[in-house]
């Protein structure tokens, strides 16, 4: 009677378990590597100036809210945060509307020169932002629109719309054309089929693209620095001002405190919409 060799299956299972453990360990290590600067920023924001420059750095110290209280009662940080919310949300919504329609047109409608037009829009992403910021400032000054929310919103759309358009175009290309054709046979127009059939199906992709667009607008500095001076100043400009607000060096307590408050709304927003974000990323991965 022949015996069954069970060594090979055990070895395979052991190798799979080791491989799984290695992947999990690597993912944890990379996550900790990326999260450590955020952790250190939050930790430093509660330190006094003496504790910040202590060598070696302290992990245990007497926490203080002094920096938060000082800058949120004196430096107009809440107003800067409100400006950032207005501009980032406005630019994100406007970009998603224009970019989604443009992406659908490039994916579905046969237009002469559509490929060339799409390549030119994609190439615009390679233009240095400073090359656009100065002409925008001159135009806004001549029109009396400097230091306005609407100016920043339109400025942000210059780099958000190409981003949205190409993401949504790839999403629409993956959808079968029969969906619109069936709706149009039933009496829908092209726009009717788009809004009644394609938009609901594409909502996870639209929402995930909107989330990334708002985050990109939230952290933008150059356009806000050039086009604003007082009323529409955003939080990245305020942080840059704090960095250069002292002759003795960077005020790390203030920088980390304001930086922490800047990150918190983005984290909360991402947690609230993580369901649609993950679904949109998964749909993009499977349909691309």
> What are the boundaries of each domain within the chain?
7-33, 76-287
Q: The whole model's pTM is what?
A: 0.80
Q: Which two tokens stand for residue 209?
A: 């693209």
Cα-to-chain-centroid distance, residue 258? 19
pLDDT tens-digit map of 20-42: 888 888 989 998 998 898 898 99
What H or E segment, with its residue span, contains residue 209? helix 199-218
Residues 253-264 have a mean pLDDT of 86
Q: What is each CA distance from 256 to 52, 121, 242, 270, in whole angstroms?
A: 11, 37, 10, 21
Q: What is each CA distance from 169 to 100, 206, 241, in whole angstroms?
A: 8, 11, 39
Cα-to-chain-centroid distance, residue 99? 16
pLDDT tens-digit map of 178-223: 888 888 888 888 888 888 888 888 888 888 888 889 989 998 999 9
DSSP string computed for 140-180: HHHHT-TT-HHHHHHHHHHHHHHHHHHHHHHHHHTS-THHH
- How far apart CA 152 and CA 95 sit, in angstroms, is 13
What is the architecture of the domain spanning 76-287?
Answer: Orthogonal Bundle (1.10)
Q: Which two tokens stand for residue 154?
A: 């339109």
- How far apart CA 14 and CA 20 sit, in angstroms, is 10
Q: Answer whether residue 175 shows pLDDT above 50.
A: yes
pLDDT tens-digit map of 38-90: 898 999 988 888 888 888 887 888 888 888 888 777 668 888 889 999 999 99
Q: Answer whether residue 255 shows pLDDT above 80.
A: yes
């Amino acid at each position: 009677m022949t015996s069954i060799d069970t060594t090979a299956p055990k070895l395979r299972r052991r190798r799979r378990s080791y491989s799984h453990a290695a992947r999990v360990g690597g993912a944890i290590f990379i996550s900790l590597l990326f999260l450590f600067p955020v952790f250190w920023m939050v930790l430093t924001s509660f330190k006094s100036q003496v504790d910040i420059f202590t060598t070696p750095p302290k992990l245990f110290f007497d926490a203080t809210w002094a920096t938060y209280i000082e800058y949120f009662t004196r430096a107009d940080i809440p107003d800067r945060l409100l400006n950032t919310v207005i501009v980032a949300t406005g630019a994100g919504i406007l970009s998603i509307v224009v970019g989604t329609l443009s992406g659908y047109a490039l994916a579905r409608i046969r237009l002469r020169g559509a490929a060339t037009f799409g390549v030119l829009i994609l190439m615009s992403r390679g233009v240095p932002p400073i090359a656009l910021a100065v002409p925008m400032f001159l135009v806004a000054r001549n029109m009396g629109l400097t230091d306005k929310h609407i100016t920043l919103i339109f400025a942000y759309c210059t780099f958000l719309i190409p981003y949205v358009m190409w993401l949504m175009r790839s999403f629409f290309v993956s959808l079968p054309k029969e969906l619109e054709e069936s709706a149009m046979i039933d009496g829908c127009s092209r726009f009717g089929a788009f809004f009644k059939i394609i938009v609901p199906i594409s909502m996870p992709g639209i929402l995930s693209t909107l989330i990334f667009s708002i985050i990109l607008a939230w952290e933008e500095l150059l356009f806000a620095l050039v086009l604003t001076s007082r009323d529409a100043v955003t939080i990245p400009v305020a942080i840059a001002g704090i960095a250069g607000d002292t002759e003795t060096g960077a005020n790390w307590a203030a920088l980390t405190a304001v930086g922490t408050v800047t990150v918190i709304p983005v984290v909360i927003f991402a947690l609230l919409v993580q369901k649609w974000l993950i679904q949109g990323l998964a749909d993009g991965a499977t349909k691309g």
